[in-house]
Chain A
Amino acid sequence: MFRPRSICQNATRLQFRPQNVRRRLKIAGVVSIVWLTGASAAAATLEIEVTDREGHPVPDVAVTAVAPGTRPPAAAHPTAIMDQLDQQFVPEVLVVQTGTPVVFPNSDAVAHQVYSFSAAKRFALGLYRGHPYPPVTFDQPGVVVLGCNIHDQMVGYILVTDTPWFGTTDARGRLALHDVRPGEVRVSVWHPRFASDEADLERSLTLTDAAPTALTIHLTHAMRPPPPKGTGARVRDY
């Protein structure tokens, strides 16, 4: 069965396209950071770059900055989006603050069945096309591994974090975290496909509001390969 036109049109109208999702996430992230920290006069900027063993940029790396002794401000979180397109989760890695609602639209013509058995969030969204379900709220910090019970090769990840300062690296392997509280912060980078023996993924830094602080992380081990591309509804192993 090929993608019925009506669903294609819906998908376009609702703008659940990966580039739009990324843009929305970026806007949402920036808006929330500005909103959360707007009251503070002093604000620091952290610029992070992640490169792989060969020196190439690594996109989609989750970055969190934690300032010890601070409690996450109570805040309303904008809804984040984990899309499903071409039998893949898009983005592969999504970072949200604890308490964030996430929607799981299905932009494919084939039905999906999203589930997680991770301790941080157990849930299942029964067989669906389009976007019939209300958002799922991620209320505990941790890593949530997503699967599709119909397409075994689909794997996605949501990192739920308490800190208000987080993001993922762009195509150039870069991320700028603005309006971070100046002082001591602990910066962590994470990607589900980092080698298990990759070390030195957490750094302690002192941020000042005078100038942006740059941090470059070079991976020393090869990353694991990405999840396979979808083969389409008409191809599978028997």
Chain B
Amino acid sequence: MNGAWLSRVARLLAAAACFWGSSVLADVPGLDAELDLRLVAADTDLTSFTDGGLGELRFDEDHDGLRLGRLLLAYQAHLLETLSAEVALSATGDNDKNPIDVTEAFLEWRPYPRSMWRTRARLGAFYPPVSLENRRVGWQSLYSISPSALNTWVGEEIRTLGAEVEVTAAGASKGRSFDVSAVASVFGWNDPMGVLIFERGWAIHDRQTALFGRLPDPLGAGTTRHGLELFHEIDNRAGYYVGGEFRYTDRVVLRALHYDNRGDPAAMNEYESAWLTRFDSVGARIELPAGFTVVSQWMTGDTSVGDSDDGRGFLIADYDAAFLLVSKTFGRQRLTVRYDTFETDTVRNEAIFDGSQDGEAWTLAYIFEPNEHWRLAAEALRNDTTLAPRALLGLAPQAVERTLQLAVVYHF
């Protein structure tokens, strides 16, 4: 029995105690609590990024056995008639800075519509409207344990810390079955975003980075390098996004977003650089007859860091990712298969640092919700990637990582 094992058990017990302690609040309207325990079996030579390695899955072979998937406490309160507050607290049981931390916290204002135009405004820390998978409370995927590479990255590096306004032309009052929305946001405190995708590439897992959390630097193992904290303002320049959505009842949802954090790649704070990170994202979700759902998203963008004469950054990487997911429900059961393809390509000064990645992944997931309190999920994940920086650590750039996870989730 070693210290790591003891501390893991202690964390699990602490999470369970916290969860059961909050169960006295089970009748509080607006409170969601969820305890997600995992049985994990990993097959990989790599160390997970959560332990400072260049593995792209959440769990490596050191994590085999019983793990805490997530403790989630989500609360929504109506402060005024049209103003609500939402907060989500998460614990993931790994070596994060805080044992429990905030993943979302925002105010939402929904004035009563006076015409076909519907307005919604959010202020605080929340997810930009990219994912068509992460629809369950606490921004979890509805279709699998681990979201696609594209949406995993959103959960890792992106949070809107700012204001967002969405205006919708609602069709119902005009005898139409579709709504069309436009969304725009101005945000800050997200300057380090881009560092993970540049150094470690795309990953696939369900671990969302908390607002005050810290990840090990993927290339900092054994050094004194400070970990990655992703939600800081470094260059005092606001970022923005603009996007649109088309929704035909619940059958078709189409989304597009242009995102630019307007980072100054030459700016730095004591520990970290600002990155200039931009992307375009499009996605579609289609509900078909017989319980079939198809979801597909595509994203392409670039990120850069460091001083350069043209101001574009000393190192620049292009990146893109796409996935296709097909899911079918059978009563209270759901079966999902997903194919992910993704790459990053260092395009400036790659002789000095090449972070390029090329990969594809298959995910097969089964979810059973026997009643309103329990959810059982099983997921097999195969991630086949080639990542150039592995060579810097004396590893083979190409690797296949596999995990098998069984999640037992209780919520109230």
Residue ranges of A at the interface with B (Cβ–Cβ < 8 Å): 1-2, 4, 109, 111, 113, 115, 117-118, 124, 126-127, 129, 145, 147, 149-150, 152-153, 155, 192-193, 196, 224-229, 231, 233-238
Q: Is B30 an interface residue (CB 8 A)?
A: yes
A152 to B170 Cα, complex, angstroms: 9
Assuming the contacts A234-B136, A237-B253, asked whether A155 and B172 have C-beta atoms less than 8 A apart, the reply is yes
Assuming the contacts A196-B175, A235-B135, A237-B132, asked whether A127 and B81 have C-beta atoms less than 8 A apart, the reply is yes
Asked if A225 and B251 make an inter-chain contact with CB atoms under 8 angstroms apart, the answer reads yes
A111 to B78 Cα, complex, angstroms: 10
A157 to B30 Cα, complex, angstroms: 28
9 tightest Cβ-Cβ pairs between the two chains A and B:
A228-B250, A155-B172, A234-B137, A224-B177, A145-B173, A2-B372, A238-B127, A228-B249, A126-B81
Give the residues in chain A near B31, CB-CB below 8 Å.
1
Give the residues in chain B near A111, CB-CB below 8 Å.
29, 78
A108 to B295 Cα, complex, angstroms: 29
Asked if A118 and B372 make an inter-chain contact with CB atoms under 8 angstroms apart, the answer reads no
Asked if A149 and B113 make an inter-chain contact with CB atoms under 8 angstroms apart, the answer reads yes
Residue of A nearest to B255 (CB): A237
Q: Is B134 an interface residue (CB 8 A)?
A: yes
A231 to B136 Cα, complex, angstroms: 10
Asked if A150 and B110 make an inter-chain contact with CB atoms under 8 angstroms apart, the answer reads yes
A226 to B135 Cα, complex, angstroms: 22
Name which of B136, B139, B179 has the most chain A CB atoms within 10 A of its CB.
B136
Kindly provide the distance from the CB of A41 to the nearest chain B CB, expressed in whole angstroms: 42
Asked if B139 and A238 make an inter-chain contact with CB atoms under 8 angstroms apart, the answer reads yes
Give the residues in chain A near B172, CB-CB below 8 Å.
145, 147, 155, 227
A187 to B28 Cα, complex, angstroms: 51
A69 to B258 Cα, complex, angstroms: 61
Kindly provide the distance from the CB of A100 to the nearest chain B CB, expressed in whole angstroms: 21
Residue of A nearest to B29 (CB): A1
Asked if A152 and B179 make an inter-chain contact with CB atoms under 8 angstroms apart, the answer reads yes
Name which of A2, A115, A231, A238 has the most chain B CB atoms within 10 A of its CB.
A238
Asked if A234 and B32 make an inter-chain contact with CB atoms under 8 angstroms apart, the answer reads yes
Asked if A238 and B249 make an inter-chain contact with CB atoms under 8 angstroms apart, the answer reads no
Asked if B27 and A117 make an inter-chain contact with CB atoms under 8 angstroms apart, the answer reads no
Give the residues in chain B near A149, CB-CB below 8 Å.
82, 110, 112-113
Give the residues in chain A near B250, CB-CB below 8 Å.
153, 228-229, 231
Asked if A118 and B170 make an inter-chain contact with CB atoms under 8 angstroms apart, the answer reads no
Asked if A235 and B136 make an inter-chain contact with CB atoms under 8 angstroms apart, the answer reads yes
Residue of B nearest to A109 (CB): B29
Q: Is B131 an interface residue (CB 8 A)?
A: yes
Assuming the contacts A147-B113, A227-B249, A238-B139, asked whether A1 and B30 have C-beta atoms less than 8 A apart, the reply is yes
Kindly provide the distance from the CB of B255 to the nearest chain A CB, expressed in whole angstroms: 9
Pull 12 A–B residue pairs with CB atoms less than 8 Å apart, ordered by A.
A109-B29, A126-B81, A145-B173, A149-B112, A152-B118, A152-B179, A155-B172, A192-B175, A227-B249, A234-B32, A237-B132, A238-B126
Give the residues in chain B near A117, CB-CB below 8 Å.
112-115, 173
Q: Is B412 an interface residue (CB 8 A)?
A: yes
A236 to B76 Cα, complex, angstroms: 14
Q: Is B306 an interface residue (CB 8 A)?
A: no
- Contacts A1-B29, A129-B29, A225-B249 aside, 10 further interface pairs with beta carbons under 8 A come to A113-B112, A117-B112, A117-B173, A124-B112, A147-B113, A228-B251, A233-B137, A235-B137, A237-B253, A238-B127
Partner of A4, one of B27, B78, B142: B27
Give the residues in chain B near A225, CB-CB below 8 Å.
177, 249, 251
Kindly provide the distance from the CB of B268 to the nearest chain A CB, expressed in whole angstroms: 32
Q: Is B373 an interface residue (CB 8 A)?
A: yes
Give the residues in chain A near B30, CB-CB below 8 Å.
1
Give the residues in chain B near A129, CB-CB below 8 Å.
29
Q: Is B52 an interface residue (CB 8 A)?
A: no
Interface string of B72-112 (1 = CB under 8 A from A): 00000010011000000000000000000000000000101
A229 to B329 Cα, complex, angstroms: 15
Kindly provide the distance from the CB of B402 to the nearest chain A CB, expressed in whole angstroms: 29
Kindly provide the distance from the CB of A148 to the nearest chain B CB, expressed in whole angstroms: 10
